[in-house]
Structure formats: structure tokens, C-alpha cells
Amino acid sequence: GNSVTQMEGPVTLSEEAFLTINCTYTATGYPSLFWYVQYPGEGLQLLLKATKADDKGSNKGFEATYRKETTSFHLEKGSVQVSDSAVYFCALGLSNTGNQFYFGTGTSLTVIP
């Protein structure tokens, strides 16, 4: 089946620390991969995406590389800020039937000054 497994949280980091949130997936077919971010009280916002193997998505200092050999799409940021505190969701999109998205359970990140 299709699924996304995400690193469990919550994660607490000090400002300027390095961030990694692990994400692995199983998929029938060739998925696109996404990271979404949800700030308190808001909807999900697209953070970055990659549509094929070895693609690197990047935005606002965050990066993730589509690794087909390890079926992974880990999110990284070199130096986190307090404003990065949010819940991060890894997702895969498939076109087998429509464009169904499968989301991970979300990882809550808190950055402390």
C-alpha cells in the first residue's frame, strides 16, 4: 500500500541548531513528495516539493532530497529560528486514482531562544 512514516515528535531545539526530520515512504508507482508546515491555528502550507528521484526541494533554508533508493525525503535546515516552530508534515502524491495525498502523522517542532 501507500504510506508515509514520519519521525515522531515533539522535537525541541535551541535557536541556530541543525534540524533533521526523517520521512520514509512506501508507494505503488512514482510519487511526488512534499513537506507541508502548519503554524498554530492555521491550515497547511506547502514548504517544498520534489517530483522525481534525486530532485532537491528547497525553501526558506529548508531542504529535502528525493531518495528513491532509500525511499526517503528527510527535511533539513542548517540553523533553525524561533519562527520555525510549527508542525511539519511529509506527504506523497500519487496519480493512480486522482491525486490522492498520503500524509505522515506530523512532527511538532519547538525552537527555544
Task: Choose between 17 and 65: whose C-beta lies nearer to other proteins.
Answer: 65
- Of 12 and 105, the one with the shorter C-beta distance to other proteins is 105
Alpha carbon distance 66, 32 (integer Å): 9
The residue among 14 and 51 lying less far from other proteins, judged by its C-beta, is: 51
Contact (CB, 8 A) for 89 and 5: no
Using CA atoms, how far residue 46 sits from 27, 41, 64, 69, 91, in Å, is 21, 16, 13, 24, 10
Given the rule CB under 8 A, which residues bind other proteins?
A: 30-32, 34, 36, 42-46, 49, 51, 89, 93-95, 97-106
Min CB(8)–other proteins separation in Å: 12
Smallest separation, CB 18 to other proteins (Å): 26
CB of 38 to other proteins, least distance (A): 9
Can you read off the three cell numbers belonging to residue 113?
Answer: 531562544
